[in-house]
Homo-oligomer: A and B are copies of this chain.
Amino acid sequence: MTDNRQIVLRQRPSGTPRADDFGVVTGPMPEPSDGEFVLRNLYVSLDPGIRQRLSQVDSYVALIDIGDPLTSTTLGVVTASRDPRVSVGDHIVGFHTVSEYSLTRWAPMTRKVDLDATASPSHHLSILGMTGLTAYFGMLDIGRPKAGETVLVSTAAGAVGSVAAQIAKIKGCKVIGIAGGAEKSSRLITEFGLDAAIDYRGKDLPELTSAIRTAAPDGIDIYFDNVGGIQLDAALDCLTVGGRVAMCGLISQYNAEGPIPPLTNLFKLIAKSARIEGFAVLRYADRFPEALSDLSSWVRDGRIVFREQIEDGIESAVPAFLKLFDGRNQGKMMLDLTRR
Contact = CB atoms under 8 A, between A and B. Distances in A.
Interface string A235-262: 0010001000001111001000001111
Contacts of A249: 270
Given A262-B259, A262-B260, A253 B267 contact: yes
Given A262-B262, A263-B262, A280 B270 contact: yes
A241 to B, nearest CB: 8
Contacts of A189: none
B275 A276 contact: yes
A272 interface: yes
Contact of A278 (B52, B237, B271): B271
A250 B262 contact: no
A280 B276 contact: no
Interface bracket on A: 20 to 34
Contact of A270 (B60, B259, B262, B274): B60
18 contacts: A52-B267, A58-B237, A60-B272, A247-B269, A250-B267, A253-B267, A260-B264, A262-B263, A263-B263, A263-B266, A269-B276, A269-B278, A270-B279, A273-B278, A273-B283, A274-B278, A275-B275, A276-B276
Interface of A: 52, 58-60, 228, 237, 241, 247-250, 253, 259-264, 266-280, 283
Given A249-B270, A250-B267, A269-B278, 11 more contacts: A247-B270, A263-B263, A269-B276, A269-B277, A272-B278, A273-B277, A273-B283, A274-B277, A274-B278, A275-B275, A277-B277
